[in-house]
Structure formats: structure tokens, C-alpha cells
Amino acid sequence: MPSVYPKASTGDGAAVPSSPKFPELEERVLTYWDKDGTFQASIDARSAGQDGDNEFVFYDGPPFANGLPHYGHLLTGYVKDLVARYQTQRGRRVERRFGWDTHGLPAELEAMKQLGMSDKVQIEKMGIDKFNDACRASVMKYAGEWQDYVTRQARWVDFENDYKTLNVEYMESVIWAFKTLHDKGLTYSGFRVLPYCWKDETPLSNHELRMDDDVYKMRQDQTVTVTFPLIAGDNALSAELEGVKAIAWTTTPWTLPTNMALAVGPEVSYAVVPAGPNGTQAGEGRFLLAEDLVGSYAKDLGYDDADSARAAVAAVHLGKDLAGLRYAPLWDIYTDTEKWGTENAWRIVTADYVTTTDGTGVVHQAPAYGEDDQKVCEENGIPVILSVDEGGKFLPMFAQTALEDIAALQVFDANKPITRALKADGRLLRQASYEHSYPHCWRCRNPLIYKAVSSWFVEVTKIKDRMVELNQQINWIPDNVKDGQFGKWLENARDWSISRNRYWGSPIPVWVSDDPNYPRTDVYGSLAEMEADFGRLPLNKEGKPDLHRPFIDELTRPNPDDPRTPEEGQSTMRRVEDVLDVWFDSGSMPYAQVHYPHENAEWFESHNPGDFIVEYIGQTRGWFYTLHVLATALFDRPAFRNVISHGIVLGSDGQKMSKSLRNYPDVSEVLDRDGSDAMRWFLMASPILRGGNLIVTEQGIRDGVRQAILPLWNVWHFFSLYTNAANNGNGYEAKARYDSTEPLDRYLLAATGDLVRDMTGALDTYDVSVACEILRAYTDTLTNWYIRRSRTRFFDEDPQAFDVLYTCLETVCRVAAPLLPLIAEEIWRGLTGGRSVHLTDWPDADLFPNNPELVERMDLTRRIASVGSSLRKGANLRVRLPLSEMTVVAPDAEALSGQFAAIIADELNLKNVRLVEAASADPAEFGISQKLVVNARAAGPRLGRNVQTAIKAAKSGDWSVDDAGTVTAGGLPLEEHEYTLETVVESGDGESAKAVAVLPGGGFLVLNTEVTPELAAEGVARDGIRAIQQARRDADLHISDRIRTTVRTGEAEAEALAANAELIKRETLTGELIVVGDLTVTDDDKDTDKYIVTVEKI
């Protein structure tokens, strides 16, 4: 008759293997799912409910498919799959639509690399249409590999119904969002200083600089301190200070050609210091700088030391009194005021941001290259003049200036020739190398510059307060992110630059008149609106609607506000050339994926906000942020209800993962060697989902097998082995059972009910790592307690044991299904013969007995056994050696009498367990005392000098605890936070035959370690039993086979075995036992080496 279990299996063999190759098993499960259509069945089995109220919506952040997935992608993928599986088991309908992020510079850079291009000139020479074709081809380069990885990690997603940000439907929703923002007065066009990548020739948003720690890198730059001679004006102070050289320090010498002003702090004191007798400045004029910084420039000003320089100060003026003073420009490049509008330039202005923490307290202002500089200069009527092109190179006009050497030079390369020119002109006071943290482009890794550019902005500052309010409605995991990293970022949110002067992306749907004399701006939010005004749609080469460049740029029309005829030169409405920031694309995902509002409007409005989202912590400045901005602005609600913001996955060296450093295990190799469930467990059980970072190691992933997968599998193997062997090999068909006459069964059933309740609580609150710990602790209970202590009952074919283990194993498979979907599937199907564990509902905890008293007593029993085992190890007494007695001193110790005391005795191989109530025991009699430790830092502010009295009293034993629990030391009452009470166990004198330990939760144990001859003999017998059992296994005997046993050992050992022959026969199913004492053994031999065992089936 075939075995009862497994009832269904993806394996070829009829029996459950003891040590399967888990990756191969997983592959078979994946194949089964594919053939069976299990994923779709899991969705179809759950109704959407009336008006879709039973749907669980999670947002699948779209990845780029122009690179292979790494551990960070796998981590978020595992969490998404886990949550979706759990919600499905809870009865919700969970659609899982995959998405692809396809626009933006990552795609353009990949296309440029493939085409051998380095700049925009080459792109436009090739043609935008052809370049964008290359971008389109590159973005899905690894789509097949992505699908393979996602499938291999047992993540269920809908690839057939995926969304792509390049689809016209998606893009139409994106331009709708822009138009809606525009209609609400939340967009504007401006000329602002922004972080700018000269390599990619495009600005960045401020939030892009804060996504990853490695955006800011240490960098060595050349700094210069430059003199600016003041010139006479029309007031007494200007006459007094004529010729005084204001000195300013900068880390960006390349911005000095566009110096337009000097900023001082209005309330900062500035000193006039005559040149000292030393150095290159000896006796040459006077200098102006912040009074607090005179000492740091002593040598440069010609003084021996700081005190000498300070003593030489001739006058002091407040910054606000210096405002308006003029100075000589460094060069005459922009002195033609009629041409450049610089009539208000080259004077001192005040700015509140100026400090004296570094530099000179006088700040060089280049309004085209500093955000604060631009604001200060515009307030003072000083123009913003650009000196470099889009590639960060100085304009050709410089070839006709005193700085001819810098024409066409990249800005950082221009620092040295500019410094040389300053020195030649006598304007250089100091130059030095300076190491500082500097922003780099997160895409190409080149150092950024700050540069004034024309850009469209979302006016985030208008809705900032509402964003902060709506954030309070979001459940953040970990919770501190809400008011911490994300909340603080929202409080300081700035307007968002959303335009990029690039090619591959959603268009900014704005058309403007090409004649400023007839201004007009049109904004479109749909293809229908465009067709109505332009008389046609933007069509690509296949004749299909396409919102990409250049097709969208081809839509032009006469300006309706220009009364002239075409023959008279009527102006034309033309689209602004910029495309939208790719973050605007991804931030539009919730509605754009369903083509809202052009389709599915009712569905989206009833399913917004989404229920769940997950990404790494950097997305608090990225995707989480842009989702929140757009949801607040468009819908006045959050974009999502629950969010896990996990930490960063690091390489094995603790650094960020790097392909070039190869500092992390190859993903595909790990999946092939250890399996997906092992990797899933490693990631899900780690602190990373609580916001911590995680170092990926191969050993850590292998530990997932040891901690979670093997224990569960071993239970399955044990169950199948014993149930199939029952009834003379005909097997036993187990059934669900929720009661039993056996205490250990009742304990396991109650613990299983607790498991379901605890797992529900953890997963309902998205506390995944806690859920892993709950499951791990339960499997430990199942394997290392219940099964280990029930083996005899299974051997005796106790139906209650079979049924209870079946019930609990089936339940734990359902509970483990989201965390270990592949292994849980194989076990559950083998156990039940059902179609899939992922089509089952979440277990009902109420089916299990709720017996907290039993669970509490059994858990205490387990703690006692654990501490007692440690005592034995500490005394070097092996478990097979019986001991006479252990005293258990614990609260309500009598509750352990009977069955629990018997378990303790059996676990620790004790002849007797003595139970003593903690209330009636004097710990001192057992060598246990308490030690008072006074926390000086906590008690000091209250006790003052008396804290030392309390500390000395605590050390000398002059302290007490009264009936109310108040601790007094040296006559000084202490508050609870000012001390700790530590339990101290006195070490033995080496002759005392006892070992003592404190019990967690209260109480202590005293183990009698004296070994009598009788106990020693029984210990030898136990060693012999172990050797015989090993011989049975080596002979591949069945657990029910009876045997004839011959044991050869030493003479003393043979006597001990003979004295305990009946015990040995009973424990080993030995019908006939022959013991021969003809070996020479020593105390140095291992226990199992003292026996030569021969077994024969009878």
C-alpha cells in the first residue's frame, strides 16, 4: 500500500526526503504554480466587493529595466509579495500590476553610451526622433531578466497587464496632472539657481541631492581669498574707507568673473586693519574683514600672530553701516552698464545668512551661481549674468577679455588660470587647498555646480503646511520617520524644479507665443484638448498618438491673441522644449497607471489613497516625497496609508553595494545554492525593515535555512515518517483536532492559537521582522520541545499526537505562507493534498483552546529546563548523567508540581525536583544576594554632592528596601530611575556540590552536583543507549524494528550496562542484550568511543 503522506508533491519520490535540495524543490513549486495558474486563482477566489471595497491596493514602485536587479530590489519585492499574500489570505482581493520606469536621464545616458555620444550637440545632429528610438530600445533591455528574477523569488505579479511610463495613456495622465496644478496656481516658470549637472546639461531638484548619503562626497578644491578695494562715494564713510581692501574667501574661484557684490552681516562687526610689517602685504594699505576673524588672517595681513593683528585694528564698523559702499570690480568684463544692466553692481550689500564661522565674514556674490547670492542681488537690483554654457564651459566671449585663457574651459579647469590672473593683478591674498563635502550627480557621479536656469516649478511652499498635516494620516514603519526624516523634510520643503532640458520624457504641456509683444500661454491636459486646438494629434512614424518629442513639438498654431495675419508675420504658439522631471512621472503613478481621469475615474477615486507602499529610506526625499506632493496638490489627501521605509542593503564589507568592488554575493548564485525562501527569510527577519542597514553575507542567507526552513521541514519529515509507519506500515490518516487529554498537546494547541493571534497582530501592523521572530520561536517550540518530548507517543502510534501535530503543522504552513511561500506550499500540499496553501484563508485563532495558564506554566518549565541545562554545562556534567536533585525557587512554584516537575526532571535527568515558593525562601541561604548600583548621572542633579554618599553606602551595603518598595542608601531615599538592583550569585569555593543560577522573570535554581556511584553507573548506561541508537541509524533500521545487540566496552562500563540492562532494552527495542567488557578504555576517550556496538534485526 502506498504511503499516506505526502498526499501531493512536486518531487519524484513517494517519501518525504530528510534533506532535500531546497532550490530544486522551489523550482518544482514554481513550475507547478505556472501550470496550475495558482496566482490568478488566488485573485479570482477573492471578490472585489461592493464598489471594490474589498480590494487591497498597493503601489508597485516602477524600476528601471536597463540594469539587472540587486538585493535592494529583491528586498522591496519580497516585502510587496509578503504583504500581498497575507492580505489575500485575509480575504482581500489584491491585484498586483507590475510597472516600468522608462523615462529620464538613466535611459538617455544608456542610449548615449550605446551610440557613442557624449553631449547634446551630437544628439540633435542625429535627430531627436532617432535618439528617442534608441532610448525606447534601451529601457527594456533587461525586462526578460527582470521577469526571471521576480518569478524566481516567488513574487506574484501581473506582467501581462503591466504599465510603462512611456505609454501614451500614462503620459496623458501625467500632463493632466501638470495642467491641474497650473489651473490651481501651483506652477510657475522662473529663472532660478539650481543644482546643475554640467555633464548631463540639466538641472536637478533639491530633493535629489538628499536621497543617498553618497551624493555628497569629500572633495579637494582650490580656495582663494581676494581683495576688493573700496572706492570713494558721496558720503563721509566712503571717503574714510577709500582704498581699504575688503577681503572675501571662496571655494569656487571660477565664479569670480561674475562677481557682482559683496555681502556682509548687518549686525556683524567689521574691522579695518592696516597692513602689518611682514610678508607680501607689508605696509600696503588697509584691509576690511569681520572683527572675529582678524586673528585667523594675521599672517596674510603681515603680522606675526593673532594678538598682534587684533591689536592693530584701527576702526570697527557694523555691517549695516557699510551697505552701499562701492568697490572696484575684479575685471572690466561687465562694466558696460548699458549692455549688461550692472549700474547697481560692485557694492556692499547686507545679508542675514552671512556668519563668521569661516572665511572672512565678507561673502563674494555671484548671483548666477548661488541660490542665496541670486536672492540677495535681485533684492538690490543687481542682474543675474551667465558666464558659462549648458556644458559648464566659459562662453567664447571670454576670448576677448583679460581672462582669454578660460574661454571654452570647463569651470573646474578654469580655477587655476583665474587664480593666476588674480595673482598677476595683485588681488590674490591667499590660496589654499580645501577638503569639503560636495554634491555630486547621482546619475553620472560628476561634481555638480549651482547655476541659474530657466525652469518650471511646482510651488510646493504654498502647500507645505497641508503636506505636513496630511503626513499625520500616514502609518510609517518605522514610526520615527513620520516626524523625523520625512516630517522634517516636509517642514523645510522648497519649490520643486520639474523641467529638464532633455529629450526622453513626458512633455511639459505648455505652449507659448514666440513673439513677446503678443504674449500668450496655453496648457493642455489631454490629447482631446490638443486635437481641438491644433486640429490633429501628435502622431509618431507609425501614425499612432505619441506625446514624446519630436512629435509633440510639431504641434504649432497661430497665436489667437495676435491680430496680425500670417502674411503680416503673425506669431506662433510653440511648445516649450523641456520635458518633465522623471520624478514627476513616477510621482503620478497612482492615477497614471489607470489612465485617470480619462478612464477609471470612479475606481481611482474610491481606491485613493493606496493601502501600502514600500521603498528604502532614501525615497523619503524621492518617490515617497513626490507622491505626497502631487497627492496633496491634486487631491488634498495622502497618496498612501501605510508605508515601510526600510534601511539600506550594504555589501559584505559594510559599504554600499558596488559592481566594480564585487562586495556582495551574486544574486543568481545565491538563489541557485540556497534558494529564494532562505534569502527572503534573511532579508525579512533582519533589522532593515525597522530602518536599520543590513550587510549581505552568504552565511547570513544560509542561516535562513537553519533558522526557519529546516525546522519546519524537519517537522514535516518527522510527521510523514511516523504516520506512514503506523498500523504496520499501512499509515495513519490524521485529521484536525483542537482538544486532547495530553497536557503537551493542549499546550501546543494553545501556543498555536497564540501564534495565529501574534502573527496577525504583527502583519496587520506591517511589523515583518517581529512576525519572523514569532514564527521562529514557534517552530523552536514545535521541534525542540513538543516533538522531542513526544517521540515515545508517536512511536506508540498515539492518535491524539498524530492529529494534534497534523493540525498545528497545517496551521503553521498557512501562517508561514507569506514568509516562506515555496516551502510552505510543498509541505501543505503534501500534508493535505490540496491545490495550494495560497488559496486558503488565514487560520482562525478561536478554533484553538485559549489556555494562558497552561502556556505560562509550560513556558516557565521550559525556562527552568534551559537555565538548568546551562548549570549542568557550567559544572561539566553531561545530560546523560543523572543527578539527584534540583531546587526550583519561583513565584507560585507549587503550580509546577506534578506533570511540570516531572518534565523538568526528565529534561535535566534528575531524580527529584524540589519546589520552593519564592516568598518563603531566603536567597542568602543559597548564595544569592542583591546589589544596589546608584546611577550618578541620573541622581546627581537631584542629590548634588550627596550622590557620593549614596554611592558609597550602596557599595558598603548600607542600603535597604522598605515595604513600599522605596530604596534608601545612606539614609537618602532614591527615585526609581536613579538606581538599579542587580542579582549577584556567589561563586562556589570549589568544594560545594551545588550550582546556582537566577531565573529570568524571578526566582532561582539550585542544582545538586554530587555524583554518587549509582548515578554514575546509570550515566554510563545512558551513554551506551546513545551508542546503540547510533548503530541502529547506521544500519538503516526502521524505528519499529526490534534488534539483538552486542556491546563491547571496558570492564567498569560493562558492569554499569549490566546493572541497567532492562533500561537499555526498553529504550533501544533490544530483545537480547550481550555485554562484553574486553576493551581497554580511558577517561580521555569520548563517550561514544568507549563502545563497539553490533545490532541485528530479529
- With helix as H, strand as E and coil as C, how does 978-996 read? HEEEEEEECCCCCCCCEEE
Phi/psi at 971 (nearest 5 deg)? 80, 5
Question: How many angstroms separate the CA atoms of 755 and 879, rounded?
Answer: 31
Taking residues 368-380, report their average pLDDT. 96
Q: Is 100 part of the annotated catalytic residue set? A: no
Residues 126 and 115 sit within 8 Å (Cβ to Cβ)? yes
Taking residues 855-872, report their average pLDDT. 95
Choice among 60-74, 881-895, 904-918, 1002-1016 with the minimum mean pLDDT: 60-74
Question: How many angstroms separate the CA atoms of 842 and 833, rounded?
Answer: 18
521-549 pLDDT per residue, tens:
999 999 999 999 999 999 999 999 999 99
Instruction: Determine the pLDDT at residue 961.
Output: 85
| Catalytic site residue from 60, 81, 101, 373 | 101
| Catalytic site residue from 6, 23, 62, 821 | 62
C-alpha cell read off for 768: 515583518
| Catalytic site residue from 89, 153, 222, 619 | 619
Q: How confident is the model at residue 215 (pLDDT cuts 50, 70, 90)?
A: confident
Global confidence as pTM:
0.86
Instruction: Determine the pLDDT at residue 811.
Output: 99
Taking residues 793-817, report their average pLDDT. 98
Question: How many angstroms separate the CA atoms of 723 and 797, rounded?
Answer: 8
| Catalytic site residue from 33, 583, 716, 959 | 583
Please check the confidence at residue 271 and state whether its pLDDT lies above 50: yes
| Catalytic site residue from 423, 544, 659, 735 | 659
Please check the confidence at residue 821 and state whether its pLDDT lies above 80: yes
Q: Is the model more confident about 64 or about 263?
A: 263
Instruction: Determine the pLDDT at residue 659.
Output: 62
What is the domain partition of the chain in residue ranges? 220-439, 868-1008, 1013-1097
Choice among 728-732, 900-904, 1018-1022 with the minimum mean pLDDT: 1018-1022
Question: How many angstroms separate the CA atoms of 159 and 781, rounded?
Answer: 40
Q: How confident is the model at residue 1 (pLDDT cuts 50, 70, 90)?
A: very low
Taking residues 566-591, report their average pLDDT. 96
Q: Is 619 part of the annotated catalytic residue set? A: yes
* Distance from the first to the final alpha carbon of the chain: 23
Q: How confident is the model at residue 182 (pLDDT cuts 50, 70, 90)?
A: very high
| Catalytic site residue from 656, 911, 955, 994 | 656
Phi/psi at 206 (nearest 5 deg)? -60, -35
Residues 9 and 830 sit within 8 Å (Cβ to Cβ)? yes
Residues 6+ apart with CB under 8 A from 947: 934, 936, 939, 940
From the annotation, which residues make up the binding site for ATP?
A: 659
Identical fold for domains 220-439 and 1013-1097, yes or no, is no
Residues 6+ apart with CB under 8 A from 275: 281, 282, 283, 284, 285, 286, 287, 301, 302
Sign of CA dihedral 941, 946, 952, 957: negative
Choice among 30-34, 193-197, 956-960, 989-993 with the minimum mean pLDDT: 989-993
Percent of the chain, pLDDT > 70? 98
Instruction: Determine the pLDDT at residue 663.
Output: 82
Q: How many other CB atoms are there within 10 angstroms of residue 669's CB atom?
A: 10
Please check the confidence at residue 2 and state whether its pLDDT lies above 60: no
Burial of 982 (0-12, 13-18, 19+ CB in 10 A): exposed
Taking residues 991-996, report their average pLDDT. 78
Residues 654 and 647 sit within 8 Å (Cβ to Cβ)? no
Sign of CA dihedral 663, 664, 668, 670: positive
Residues 642 and 660 sit within 8 Å (Cβ to Cβ)? no
75-90 pLDDT per residue, tens:
999 999 999 999 999 9
Taking residues 235-263, report their average pLDDT. 96
Instruction: Determine the pLDDT at residue 648.
Output: 92
1054-1079 pLDDT per residue, tens:
988 998 899 899 989 999 999 999 88
Q: Is 101 part of the annotated catalytic residue set? A: yes
DSSP string, 544-587: -B--STTTGGG--EE-TT--S-GGGT--EEEE-S-EE-HHHHHH
311-364 pLDDT per residue, tens:
999 999 999 999 999 999 999 999 999 999 999 999 999 999 999 998 999 999
Instruction: Determine the pLDDT at residue 234.
Output: 85
Q: What is the mean pLDDT of the chain?
A: 93
Question: How many angstroms separate the CA atoms of 799 and 811, rounded?
Answer: 18
The number of angstroms, rounded, from the C-alpha of 789 to the middle of its chain's C-alpha atoms is 41
Which of the 8 DSSP states describes residue 388? Answer: B
Question: How many angstroms separate the CA atoms of 487 and 479, rounded?
Answer: 11
Helix intervals (H) in 269-344: 306-311, 319-322, 337-340
Question: How many angstroms separate the CA atoms of 1044 and 109, rounded?
Answer: 77
The dotted CATH code for 220-439 is 3.90.740.10
Please check the confidence at residue 282 and state whether its pLDDT lies above 70: no
Amino acid at 341: G
Tell me which residue has cell 496577525: 760
875-927 pLDDT per residue, tens:
999 988 999 999 999 988 999 999 999 999 999 999 999 999 988 888 888 87
Instruction: Determine the pLDDT at residue 798.
Output: 97
Residues 117 and 109 sit within 8 Å (Cβ to Cβ)? no
Instruction: Determine the pLDDT at residue 104.
Output: 92
Instruction: Determine the pLDDT at residue 553.
Output: 98
Choice among 252-261, 277-286, 870-879 with the minimum mean pLDDT: 277-286
Taking residues 1007-1027, report their average pLDDT. 91
Q: How many other CB atoms are there within 10 angstroms of residue 998's CB atom?
A: 17
Question: How many angstroms separate the CA atoms of 672 and 153, rounded?
Answer: 11
Q: Which of 865, 887, 870, 872 is nearest to 1011 (CA)?
A: 872
Question: How many angstroms separate the CA atoms of 603 and 596, rounded?
Answer: 9
1023-1040 pLDDT per residue, tens:
899 899 999 989 988 888
The dotted CATH code for 1013-1097 is 3.30.2320
Taking residues 803-822, report their average pLDDT. 99
Q: Give me the residues paired with residue 203 across strands.
A: 196
Burial of 611 (0-12, 13-18, 19+ CB in 10 A): middle
From the annotation, which residues make up the binding site?
A: 659
